[in-house]
Chain A
Amino acid sequence: MTQPASTPVSWRCSVSIEVRKPGLSTTVQDTGRSGYYDVGIPPSGALDLYSLTTGNRLVGNPPDAGALEVVYMGPELLFTEDAVVAVTGAELPPRINGEARPLWESFPVSAGDVLSFGFVKGGARAYIAVAGGIDVPVVLGSRATYGLGALGGMEGRPLVAGDTLPIGAGAGTPGRVLPGDLLPALGKDVEVRVVMGLYDHVLAPEGRDNFLQTTWTLTPVADRVGFRYKGAELSTIERTPPFGAGQDPSNIVDAPYPIGSIQVPGGVEPIILHRDAVSGGGYMMVGTVISGDLDVVAQSAPNTRTRFVEVDMDGALAARRDYRARSARVAELLA
């Protein structure tokens, strides 16, 4: 990781953070690793990449620096030196020694301060960025934690009480704010854009219609591997499963799973695979969430009502350009 060259230096830090309470499941993440999916090692990295990269920019880090991903319930962290911190993503109100601090804004932390959090008011995953970045070892090109494979991050696992997180040397400026029009919308009703395909031909026509017309509800089974929804049963065509597939009509010869692909085991309860995805398996997939909308999925809490909206490749690329333009504006404003 490179250091920002000439950011106005308000704080110089080379600190560590002591984990007093770990929260529900707090992991070190960055923008993930590439090139190992063919041996089952998924990209990992922040589920909501926009919030992680923006948090890093607020504290003057490169966008891909290591930060903490917090799920629903925040940790309690003791800082041993002065630092600059920003919290982004879910509405998880940060507090320093019990006093409220803003979201989406960098703020100073002094040696001996304790960062803690109130209850989540919206969204599901918050990101804690610290000037200098969380400086755990780089494994296969990334600091991201991959829990199933026990690699990356803090010894390949979520934080536990007593962990000491190393922070890289870096400068940060408190008081940098993200303009309101660049805040992501966090709702209990969301639309997620999907490119249909992969094995959607196994769905009967009414099964396909049902998939796109149902308002799905996110179940509590939602983690870094996948998000499971309930709402309808999707009928499949009559077919004899091909040799090697297994016996259920929804079974396929085990195939690779794209990140964001939606599998429907047995025609019920679609699962969106996310950045710690199992890399392949034997369930039919009916489409793939477009890359930018994985952030929307990431911020879905259980019971979030979700519609899958079909887009074609041109629509997916247009959405990608919008996402890129928004990220470029953040980069420019927080340069």
Chain B
Amino acid sequence: MSETASPARYSWGGDEFIFVELSEEMSLRANFRAMAITRALKEERPDGILEICPANASYQVRYDPDVIEPHTLLAHLQDLEKKVGDASDVSLSTRVVEIPVLYRDPWTTETLMRFRDRHQDPDATDIDYAARINGLPDADAFIAAHTGSPWFTSMVGFVAGLPFMFQMVPQDRQLVVPKYLRPRTDTPKQTVGHGGCFGCIYSVRGAGGYQMFGITPAPIYDPTQSSPDFADFMVFFRPGDIASFRAIDRDEYDDTLVQVERRDYRIRSREVEFNLQPFLDDPAGFNSRLLEVLRVD
């Protein structure tokens, strides 16, 4: 796998934003380039740069044109793009984390029943529908696929702290589901969802259009910063985090919630170095090593 990077597309977003699309379609390569370019820019922090936002296959910079001339910034970003190239030699210091999930939980099930009129398949649940259109025999097989490989946090956003995740498997094994026909007005907090090729965890209760499969008892956003995972910052996920979902039962869900309420729950997390090329050369071997790092005590 040694695709050459196609040139990015640059566009103005009014007088304060530059938007850069590295690839029209989603790939880990495009995401890794977005990550590498934005990390390089963060290290430099030129004057007048206000926000640096990596996204799935694109990124965006907010700047103050009174401080930095827009065309100068754009030329600089094009230089960075060349310097980063296909990002195969870029190394990312990141984390691998484990997210416990109660699949087919009562709360998302109740919510999805309320919004059946907005769904492609009103007679099925979201997970049964997702299993069927991905050619899997049943929901259990879908859960096995969902928990079977880790996910790369390719973007954080939409609302505060919501991770978009891209499953670290070859494209023909990606789980792909459409979004709801019309978005819901309600989604339980910490719902584990999926839309297009992206998994997500809803960080707050609110609107949403992704299919809902389950719920995690682990908080991922805490503006009060009252528990240990949030001592440094109110948002748990950062772009580049690698997450593995683990199916849990109702007892473990309830026990975990007790710990969360006692403020002594922590998401299992380990530091890792991630290079794209070794992963692309042997995804299965790389993923199993990642999970070993995560699960070793």
Q: Enumerate chain A interface residues (CB-CB to B < 8 A).
A: 34-35, 37-41, 139, 146, 148-151, 156, 194-195, 197-198, 242-247, 251-256, 258-261, 278-282, 285, 288-291, 313, 316-317, 319-320, 324
A258 contacts across to B, CB distance below 8 A:
13-14, 16-17, 19, 60, 62
Closest to B178 in A: A247
A40 and B15 form a contact (CB under 8 A): no
Closest to A293 in B: B14
Known: A258-B13, A313-B15. A242 touches B195 (CB 8 A): no
B26 and A243 form a contact (CB under 8 A): yes
Contact of B14 among A253, A255, A279, A290 (CB under 8 A): A290
A253 and B19 form a contact (CB under 8 A): no
B196 and A256 form a contact (CB under 8 A): no
Known: A38-B53, A40-B160. A244 touches B16 (CB 8 A): no
Of listed A39, A194, A282, residue having the most chain B CB within 10 A: A39
A281 and B158 form a contact (CB under 8 A): yes
Q: Is B232 on the interface with A (CB-CB < 8 A)? A: no
A320 contacts across to B, CB distance below 8 A:
15, 65-66
A38 and B157 form a contact (CB under 8 A): yes
| 0/1 string, B207-239, CB within 8 A of A gives 1 | 000000000000001010000000000110111
A258 to B61 alpha-carbon distance, docked (Å): 9
A38 and B14 form a contact (CB under 8 A): no
Interface residues of B in 10-65 (CB under 8 A from A): 11-17, 19, 21, 23-27, 38, 50-60, 62, 65
Q: Is B156 on the interface with A (CB-CB < 8 A)? A: yes
Contact of A198 among B13, B158, B197, B198 (CB under 8 A): B13
Interface residues of B in 150-172 (CB under 8 A from A): 155-162, 164, 166, 171
Closest to A243 in B: B25
Q: Is B276 on the interface with A (CB-CB < 8 A)? A: no
A252 to chain B, nearest CB (A): 8
Closest to B69 in A: A317
A227 to B11 alpha-carbon distance, docked (Å): 23
A254 to chain B, nearest CB (A): 5
Of listed B23, B38, B51, residue having the most chain A CB within 10 A: B51
A245 contacts across to B, CB distance below 8 A:
25-26, 196
Contact of B13 among A37, A281, A288 (CB under 8 A): A288
22 contacts between A and B (CB under 8 A): A34-B50, A35-B50, A35-B51, A38-B53, A38-B156, A148-B204, A195-B14, A242-B25, A244-B26, A245-B25, A246-B178, A255-B55, A255-B58, A255-B60, A258-B60, A280-B157, A280-B164, A281-B158, A282-B195, A288-B17, A291-B14, A316-B15
B160 and A253 form a contact (CB under 8 A): no
A255 and B57 form a contact (CB under 8 A): yes
A244 to B159 alpha-carbon distance, docked (Å): 20
Known: A148-B159, A149-B159, A258-B16. A253 touches B196 (CB 8 A): yes
Q: Is B246 on the interface with A (CB-CB < 8 A)? A: no
B204 contacts across to A, CB distance below 8 A:
148-150
B228 to chain A, nearest CB (A): 19
Interface residues of B in 123-140 (CB under 8 A from A): none
B196 contacts across to A, CB distance below 8 A:
244-246, 251, 253-254, 282
A156 to B221 alpha-carbon distance, docked (Å): 14
B16 and A280 form a contact (CB under 8 A): no
Known: A246-B178, A320-B15. A151 touches B53 (CB 8 A): no
Q: Enumerate chain B interface residues (CB-CB to A < 8 A).
A: 11-17, 19, 21, 23-27, 38, 50-60, 62, 65-66, 70-71, 155-162, 164, 166, 171, 176, 178-179, 195-198, 203-204, 206, 221, 223, 234-235, 237-239
Known: A151-B234, A253-B196, A258-B19. A37 touches B158 (CB 8 A): no
A39 contacts across to B, CB distance below 8 A:
156-157, 160-161, 235, 237-238
A224 to B164 alpha-carbon distance, docked (Å): 23
B197 and A243 form a contact (CB under 8 A): yes
B86 to chain A, nearest CB (A): 18
A253 contacts across to B, CB distance below 8 A:
23-26, 56-58, 196
B56 and A40 form a contact (CB under 8 A): no
Known: A38-B51, A198-B13. A255 touches B56 (CB 8 A): yes
B92 to chain A, nearest CB (A): 15
List the 8 shortest-distance A-B pairs measured between CB atoms, nearest first.
A244-B26, A258-B13, A149-B160, A288-B14, A242-B25, A279-B157, A258-B17, A256-B60
A317 and B162 form a contact (CB under 8 A): no
Of listed A156, A195, A280, A290, residue having the most chain B CB within 10 A: A280
A320 to B195 alpha-carbon distance, docked (Å): 38
A20 to B239 alpha-carbon distance, docked (Å): 44
B21 contacts across to A, CB distance below 8 A:
255
